[in-house]
Structure 1
Amino acid sequence: MVNISPMPLNLVTDTWVKASWEEFLALGESPDLEKARFYYDNDLMRIETMPIGSGHSQDNTILSQTVSLYGTVKNIRLKGFTNGSFRKPGVRECQPDLAYYIGAAFRIPPKTSKPIDVDEFGAPDLVIEIASTTLSDDIGRKRLLYERLGIQEYWVVDVERGEVVAFAVADGGSKQIRESQVLPGLDIALIEEALKRSQTQEDGEINRWLLQVFND
């Protein structure tokens, strides 16, 4: 999303505002917003420009490592994306912290500078948002976006409390779960334990612990 379009002086960021799809696309081409994250759902857009702190980035790393190691040990086919954009043209778009296609059926999207078209490749099976300053929105409005997008599972990581709120999505709605359904056997409590350990342990120590647990 890079072009020469200037950023409007009256642009309101970090909240949901009314906008057309064309306005949303134009803002995505603004060089002033190159590092921002973009969300759109049913004529509402949210452009996040808040800086990412240490807690957010550390938890993002732990979640990525945990999912990758679990898939490796359990021989689960998956493909991960960090800050990837997923688009249903004209209707909605999202840029979650982490997203995964999981299972035997998915096709790997090509490496391009364009958002992944969910009409062509389907929605990710698992989406993860790391919430350090956006918790209420991640659990609320964004959860509705992901339900409509067609994902199967959605996790919100509360950085301040070290908790993971996980939802299974089906039939246009979602319900809270404590064990992953797209990564069978993965207990949400174990992920929270990994987050707790990350406060005092380095990544290699946590990974060795995870491998031992996953291989038991």
Structure 2
Amino acid sequence: MVNTVTTVSKAEIVSDRWIKATWDEFLTLADDPAHAEMARFYYDRDTMRIEMAANGSLHGRNNSVVYDVISLFAIAKNIRILKLTNTSFRKTGLQECQPDCSFYIGDSFLLPPQNNSSIDLDSFEIPHLVVEIATTSLNDDLGRKRILYEQLGVKEYWVVNGGESQVYAFEMSGERSGTIRESQVLEGLSIAIVEEALKRSLTEDDGAIARWLLQTFTVSPA
């Protein structure tokens, strides 16, 4: 895969592409409170990517629908889960990511501290499931960012193609990934259910979608 990389400019933020930057240059931008509400930050060894925050209803709606699917599935199946929105995860000096939403799943994870600092991946594990909502960043979400999440040790990664109600799901292990159509960290959750919920969101309100999901998740197997 070929990446076009330029050099970081101190005069302005270069968004939506990977640029050359030292860790200190990255921190100068990523840890500036003035940027917290306007951008998301990624770093991979000697390059960084800054994405301007998506404010449109398409991105926000897709994000909330995915949250509802996962939350209601965990409730219906009595699965321990911790949900995080737009949270940064940092391996100091090497890598950082800030996915749209992420989930710790299972009985053994530790609760990370509740503060405004990035979660330290030298002290806490990376979330088991990471989701990116792709409204303008689909190629990068499927490419460079997927490799970043492989290296960080994410177990499962979803990319939601916002314009098509489509979910690309990957199981990750040993810095490799393969496509799946049923979640491995949320056993029994079909990716087709997530896609159907996204399609329903085009014409239905959240309450109607939630009732359909709960009925789907709680129906007794034949």
Deviations 1:123-182 (A, max 9, x none): 100000000000000000000110011110000000111100000001211000000000
Matched position secondary structure for 1:75: coil
Give the aligned length.
Answer: 210
Determine the structure 2 residue equivalent to 1:182.
Answer: 185
Q: Is the 8 A contact 2:40 2:53 kept in 1?
A: no
Matched position secondary structure for 1:55: helix
Determine the structure 2 residue equivalent to 1:26.
Answer: 28
Q: Which amino acid aligns with 2:123?
A: E
Which runs of structure 2 are paired with 1:3-152 in the superposition (5 Å)? 8-35=10-37, 36-152=39-155
% identical equivalent positions = 52
Determine the structure 2 residue equivalent to 1:4.
Answer: none
Once residues 72 and 122 of structure 2 are traced to their aligned partners in structure 1, the CA distance between those partners, rounded to angstroms, is: 29
Once residues 16 and 55 of structure 2 are traced to their aligned partners in structure 1, the CA distance between those partners, rounded to angstroms, is: 13
Q: Which amino acid aligns with 2:24?
A: E
Q: Is the 8 A contact 2:65 2:197 kept in 1?
A: yes
| Structure 1 unmatched ranges of 5 or more | 1-6
Of 41-50 and 157-166, deviating more is: 41-50
Determine the structure 1 residue equivalent to 2:160.
Answer: 157
When the two chains are superposed, the root-mean-square deviation of aligned CA atoms in Å is: 1.2
Matched position secondary structure for 1:68: helix
Once residues 151 and 140 of structure 1 are traced to their aligned partners in structure 2, the CA distance between those partners, rounded to angstroms, is: 15
Q: CA deviation at 1:11?
A: 3.4
Once residues 31 and 125 of structure 2 are traced to their aligned partners in structure 1, the CA distance between those partners, rounded to angstroms, is: 24
Determine the structure 1 residue equivalent to 2:3.
Answer: none
Once residues 49 and 82 of structure 2 are traced to their aligned partners in structure 1, the CA distance between those partners, rounded to angstroms, is: 26
Deviations 1:84-113 (A, max 9, x none): 111111110011001001111100111111
Once residues 53 and 109 of structure 2 are traced to their aligned partners in structure 1, the CA distance between those partners, rounded to angstroms, is: 33
Q: Is the 8 A contact 2:181 2:192 kept in 1?
A: yes
Q: Is the 8 A contact 1:14 1:50 kept in 2?
A: no
Determine the structure 2 residue equivalent to 1:211.
Answer: 214
Determine the structure 1 residue equivalent to 2:171.
Answer: 168
Deviations 1:47-66 (A, max 9, x none): 11153311110000000011
Q: Is the 8 A contact 1:38 1:46 kept in 2?
A: yes
Of 23-32 and 204-213, deviating more is: 23-32
| Structure 2 unmatched ranges of 5 or more | 1-8
Deviations 1:1-57 (A, max 9, x none): xxxxxx932432211001111110011233542321000012110011153311110
Once residues 72 and 173 of structure 1 are traced to their aligned partners in structure 2, the CA distance between those partners, rounded to angstroms, is: 30
Q: CA deviation at 1:118?
A: 1.4
TM-score (norm 1): 0.94
Q: Is the 8 A contact 2:16 2:50 kept in 1?
A: yes
Once residues 130 and 17 of structure 2 are traced to their aligned partners in structure 1, the CA distance between those partners, rounded to angstroms, is: 20
Matched position secondary structure for 2:11: coil
